[in-house]
Amino acid sequence: MFSGRFDHSIDEKGRVSIPARFREILQRENHDRLYITNFPYDGERCLALYPPSQWDKLNAQLQNMPRFDPQVQAFETMFIGGAHDVPVDRQGRILIPTNLRDYAKLDREVTFSARRDHFQLWDKQILGKVLKATEEKITDPEFFTKLGL
C-alpha cells in the first residue's frame, strides 16, 4: 500500500523521480514499469499511476462490466485509452508523455500523492487548491458520517 505525499521536479526532458518510498514498494513486487493515465478529479486534472498488478486488477474488473454500457465506454475511452506503459529507469525515474503532462498541466514542480493501491501525480499548485477545498469539505460533521467512519 502506498501512503504519503512527496514533492519532486520534472526535468527538461519530462522525467521525474518516483519517491523512494513508492520505489521500494514497486521493487518489492518486482515492478519495473507503471501504467500512467489521465484522471479528472473534482474539476481539476492529475495523472494516475498504477503498478502492473493493480492495473491488471482494474482491467479484470472491467471485463465483468457490460461492454456497451455508455458509462463503461466513457471510462474506457478516457482512462484506459489515455494510458501509457512507462518503464522505470535505473535511477528510479519515469518519462511522462507530453500529452499527459499537458493534460494535467504539469509544470516543473509536482507532487506525488498516494491512493492506497496506486498514486497520483499533480501539479503542485493545483494540488494545493484541491487540498484546501478538501479540508473545507471534511470539516463538515456529516462528512465522516456519510463515509461510515
Q: Where are the domains of the chain?
A: 5-124
CA dihedral 137, 140, 145, 147 (to 10 degrees): 0
Pick the CATH number of 5-124 from 3.40.50.300, 2.30.110.10, 3.30.300.130, 3.40.1550.20: 3.40.1550.20
Q: What is the pLDDT of residue 142?
A: 85
Q: Is 119's pLDDT higher than 80?
A: yes
- What is the model's pTM? 0.91
Tens-digit pLDDT profile for residues 6-60: 999 999 999 999 999 999 999 999 999 999 999 999 999 999 999 999 999 999 9
Tens-digit pLDDT profile for residues 107-117: 999 999 999 99
Q: Is 124's pLDDT higher than 90?
A: yes
Give the chain's largest Cα–Cα span: 47
Q: How remote is the C-alpha of 146 from its chain's centroid?
A: 25
Phi-psi bin for 42: left (phi > 0), alpha (psi -120 to 50), beta?
A: left
Backbone angles phi, psi at 14, to 5 degrees: 90, 15
Q: What is the pLDDT of residue 136?
A: 86
Q: Is 149's pLDDT higher than 80?
A: no
